[in-house]
Amino acid sequence: MVVMEQAQEVERPQAAAAITAVTYAVLVVLGLVMGVVGGFQHSWYLWPVPISAIGCVAVLFAVSWGAGRMMGGKLAALVPAAGWMVTTLVWLGSRPEGDVVIANDLSGYFYLYGGLAALMTAVFLTPSAAGGSWLLTQHSFGPRPAEPHSPMDR
């Protein structure tokens, strides 16, 4: 009976680690897919407004922020962002034929710079895994302060 309980205790952390690893892998693939779809579909206009680029930027923010909130940390918000950035960097390179995927026009600029701004905002707005803000938390940068003595020590 004791051996069975110890075996279950060993399997639980391994299963949780495997599920977390698979989740991060899915988030990377999701970021790559968003980069492929957004790279080819960002240039639809409704009159002078690049409506598709605006939609792509909104989806990038929502996925990155939602992943960070659901997984409970900034790393989960950064993972799909990294997948999107890798794909987008590939699309920015020119080919010998002169073709580019993200063109030098309003929709391309909005997709590229708006996407980067949306992803940075999503990562910064995601709460830290420790629960507090890394920017607003006061840190002690010296030796640990002395503990106050209790009245029982006297």
Residue-wise pLDDT for 121-152, tens only, equals: 999 999 887 666 555 666 566 566 556 666 66
Max avg pLDDT among 56-65, 86-95, 136-145? 56-65
The partner residues of 49 in beta bridges, in order of sequence, read 46
Which CA distances in Å does 21 have to 29, 111, 133, 153?
12, 29, 25, 50
> At 28, which amino acid appears?
V
Q: Would you call 46 helix, strand, or coil by DSSP?
A: strand
Find, among 9, 27, 8, the residue nearest to 19 by Cα. 27
- Computed from CA positions of residues 36, 110, 58, 124, in that sequence, does the dihedral angle turn out positive or negative? positive
Q: What are the distances in angstroms from CA 100 to CA 5, 34, 87, 105, 136? A: 59, 18, 13, 12, 42
pLDDT single digits (tens) 6-20 = 555 556 778 888 899
CA torsion, points 128, 65, 79, 13, in degrees to nearest 10? 60
- DSSP state, residue 126: S
Q: What is the DSSP letter of 44?
A: -
Instruction: Tell me the pTM.
Output: 0.74
